[in-house]
Amino acid sequence: MNKQEMEAYLVELDEALAQAFPSPEPIRVMVVGGACLLLSDITERPTQDIDVIITDLEGTGSATLVWQLTKTTKKIRQIITTIGKQHGLPPRERLFLNDDCAPFLLEIGDIPPTRLLHAYRKLHLYVPADFGYILACKLMAGRPKKDFGDIIALRQMLNIKTRDEAQALVDRFFPKSDDQQIYGLAETLTKVFTRDLAN
């Protein structure tokens, strides 16, 4: 999805959610990953899906579409996949808005301060107030090949020039050294900054 397609999907999803859940309380989500950068005009790289963390489900607090599904979260999943199917997305991509990344991110750190990006009728999109969080996420995920373009864009935006600066940034959001070791942060930083030296 490019930005225009993503915004069209979000409008359609919001309309369906507003019909299915007519209460005035919104569904608040924090957008992360490539979708966050695309919607915030930081990059133009298309993305397969919209990664979110559901921070408030109609005033009831955080929720997930991944495990321990409730009647409400099952209904939300169904609405998303129905729209995905109508647009001809392959089965594995029909849940185009998902929180598959949330268990990983919430296990290793807290939700950072956010700012409102867009308030639809039912769906309210937030992004991290500090995009350093997104760079830290991408470095912890350990996929420099897949995310290298985003990593470059974020490093330029945040003026992160050295490995030590990148390490300090990750420490701010994901401070546990055990988690950094489990997810191979040192190896990822080596790949990212060795590539710098090669260019």
Q: Is 117 helix (H, G, I), strand (E, B) or coil?
A: strand
Split at pLDDT 50, 70, 90, the class of 195 is low
Q: What pLDDT is recorded for position 138?
A: 95
Task: Say which residue, 45 or 29, is predicted with more confidence.
Answer: 29
Q: Measure CA 164 to chain center.
A: 25
Write out pLDDT tens, residues 135-188: 999 999 988 788 888 999 999 999 999 999 999 999 999 999 999 999 999 999
Rounded to the nearest 10 degrees, the angle between the axes of helix 132-141 and helix 163-173 is 100
On whether the CB atoms of residues 170 and 139 are closer than 8 A, the answer is yes
Provide the β-strand partners of residue 118.
125
> Which tokens hold the place of 167?
């390490």
- Give the C-alpha separation, 196 to 199, whole Å: 5
3-state secondary structure 38-89: HHCCCCCCCCCCEEEEEEEECCCCCECCCCCCCHHHHHHHHHHHHHHHHCCC
pLDDT at 196 over 70: no
pLDDT over 90 percentage in the chain: 91
> Which tokens hold the place of 40?
């915030």
Domain segments of the chain as ranges? 3-128, 137-198
CA distance between the termini of the chain: 30
pLDDT at 197 over 70: no
Q: What pLDDT is recorded for position 116?
A: 98
On whether the CB atoms of residues 64 and 102 are closer than 8 A, the answer is yes
Q: What's the mean pLDDT when you consider all of the chain?
A: 94
Write out pLDDT tens, residues 85-122: 999 999 999 999 999 999 999 999 999 999 999 999 99
